[in-house]
């Protein structure tokens, strides 16, 4: 199913799959790519301006966990582990919520959403995720917070720079 997306520069683009467009480099996410390998692409969706939020997407177009190849399975867990470690070390993130569903309109991707103190007003568990994301999108998109979020992207990018050499 193709859909239209609007780029930051105002251009409108028809894409079959937003994840394919992002992971192939057709679209550059705001703040840029955090990490990229043959199999995976790491970025943030600044439409939800939460510092340290990370989206880890496969480069191949598929939907389900059981479709990961053996090589992808190994890199996937190593990459999640590395991202999580840098979130803790570099951004002081104490807890993370992981969110992934197979009936997505994008392809295979994992959300890693840092858990901050302000989020508890929306509940304690998975039911709070959507309200938290909407709150961020609607109330936290000011210039100051956006700068803070972009800085978080840059810090994580630096932190992930040595991952490729370790994993190969």
Positions touching Zn ion (CB under 5 A) are 17, 19-20, 61, 107
Contacts of 119 (CB under 8 A, 6+ apart): 128, 132
Closer residue to Zn ion in complex, CB, 34/57: 57
Contacts of 35 (CB under 8 A, 6+ apart): 41, 42, 79, 83, 156, 157, 160, 163
Q: Cβ 5 to Zn ion, closest distance in Å?
A: 13
Closer residue to Zn ion in complex, CB, 61/84: 61
Closer residue to Zn ion in complex, CB, 48/108: 108
Q: Are 52 and 156 in contact (CB under 8 A)?
A: yes
Q: Cβ 123 to Zn ion, closest distance in Å?
A: 31
Q: Cβ 1 to Zn ion, closest distance in Å?
A: 11
């Amino acid at each position: 199913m193709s859909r239209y997306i609007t780029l930051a520069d105002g251009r409108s683009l028809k894409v079959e799959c937003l994840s394919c467009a992002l992971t192939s480099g057709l679209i550059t996410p705001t703040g840029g790519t955090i990490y990229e390998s043959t199999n995976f692409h790491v970025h943030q969706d600044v439409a939800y301006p939460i510092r340290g939020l990370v989206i880890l997407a496969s480069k191949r177009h598929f939907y389900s966990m059981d479709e990961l190849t053996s090589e992808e399975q190994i890199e996937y867990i190593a990459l999640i582990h590395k991202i999580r470690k840098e979130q803790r070390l570099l951004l002081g993130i104490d807890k993370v919520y992981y969110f992934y569903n197979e009936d997505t309109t994008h392809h295979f991707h994992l959300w890693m959403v840092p858990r901050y103190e302000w989020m508890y007003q929306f509940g304690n568990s998975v039911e709070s995720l959507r309200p938290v994301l909407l709150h961020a999108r609607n109330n936290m998109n000011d210039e100051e917070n956006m700068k803070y979020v972009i800085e978080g992207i840059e810090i994580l990018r630096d932190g992930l720079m040595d991952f490729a050499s370790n994993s190969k």
